[in-house]
Structure 1
Amino acid sequence: MRDQNEYLYFLRRAFDGMLGALEDLGDDLGNARPPLPGANSVYAIAYHCVGVADYWIGHIVAGREVDRDRAAEFTAAGSAQELRRSVDALFERMATDLEPVTPTAPPRNTPPAAFEGPDRPLSVPGVQLHVLEELAQHHGQIQITRDLLTREARS
């Protein structure tokens, strides 16, 4: 067994930053899309990140069945409180998923070619880095989206 607490700590920091931005905006503005082509709401981006982490850690690494509708993640809407509960449940699942995992074990599943991700076979540490990469990118996207929405609201 390998201690995954440090890894989960950094994932939690990313999610706490996303959820903090969503809570700062409030549910109405958190579900609004900025006036840019193809832009997503802060809620939808954070909701997508739950799907990313659950799928890549739960399904790819641990082999757990994950019912994911990736396209629907980008149109999701809801409250910050609901999403925080979903994130807490996600962390419980990920802790269980990662507990028996060793860095030398191969992932239990291979992502479909249609899913965005690294274009090479991945090790368990590689999948974990991919999840951290995605969360870090989307955390920054959420911060920029929050700034755009609050600027628009003040105008």
Structure 2
Amino acid sequence: MTTDEYLTLCDRSLDGYAACVRELGDAHVNSSLTGVEGSNSAFALVAHVVGVMGRWGRTVNRGIVVPRDRDAEFTATGTVEEALELLELGRARLHEDAHAADLGAAPVNPPTGRDRGSHALRGPAYPTQGAVLLHVHEELAQHLGHLEVTRDVLLA
């Protein structure tokens, strides 16, 4: 797979986030599912995936430290316009980071502790920059599914 093919897949997910945010509008972009523990708003999911892209694409792969407050991502609020701006910033940085990646090389700042994930893996959780980028896509796809369910329920 080429970097451009990879980015096409990521862009599809990011376009899905943007579509959901627009559909929810300012009236629902900060709403989560009532009575569903762990449910997150659309804005919070956008803040989270932008944090994910920065953490993994920049800090882990490239060694460019991106300050991140993961817990705050899940309580972030804002407008549709602010969510769309965050998505575009995240997309631009992901494109830059993916093109700068040496897919077969080890990450510059390998993940430790919690970032290794709960997987029972032997060796490094993400041994190459290419594996780190695949993790970014995995997160984008997973949380897009969460967002789509949230949107469907909120607008039902």
Is the contact made by 1:4 and 1:99 (CA closer than 8 Å) also made in structure 2?
A: yes
Q: Distance in 2 between matches of 1:59 and 1:111?
A: 9
Distance in 2, Cα, partners of 1:66 & 1:91: 15
- Structure-2 separation of matches of 1:100 and 1:49: 20
- 1:3 deviates by 5.4
Which residue pairs with 1:126 in the alignment?
131
Q: Displacement of 1:118 after TM fit? A: 6.3
Structure 2: segments with no counterpart, 5+ residues = none
Deviation, 1:48, is: 0.5
1:75 aligns with 2:75: yes
- Tell me the equivalent position of 1:140: 145
Higher mean C-alpha displacement, 90-99 vs 50-59 = 90-99
Aligned residues of 1:3 and 1:99 also touching (Cα < 8 A): no
CA RMSD of aligned residues (A): 1.8
Q: Specify the SS of the correspondent of 2:139.
A: helix
Give 1:49's aligned residue: 49
Q: 1:63 to 1:10 in 2, by over 3 A?
A: same
TM-score by length of 2: 0.87
Asked if 2 retains the 8 angstrom alpha-carbon contact of 1:118 and 1:130, the reply is no
Q: Give the 3-state SS of the residue equivalent to 1:129 in structure 2.
A: helix
Q: Which amino acid aligns with 2:143?
A: H
Partners of 2:86 and 2:9 in 1: how far apart? 17
* C-alpha distance in structure 2 between counterparts of 1:49 and 1:116, whole Å: 17
Q: Deviations 1:93-129 (Å, cap 9, x if unpaired)? A: 2233233322221111112312363644111111111
List alignment gaps of at least 5 residues for structure 1.
none
Shift of the 83–126 alpha-carbon distance from structure 1 to 2, 3 Å rule, reads: same
Distance 1:118 1:54 in 2: 21
Tell me the SS of whatever aligns to 2:77.
coil
Give the TM-score of the pair, scaled to structure 1: 0.88
The CA deviation string for residues 45-94 of structure 1, in whole angstroms up to 9 with x for no partner, is 12101111111111111111101000000000111211222222222222
Identity over the aligned pairs, expressed in percent? 36
Matches for 1:27-106 after TM superposition, within 5 Å: 27-35=26-34, 36-106=36-106
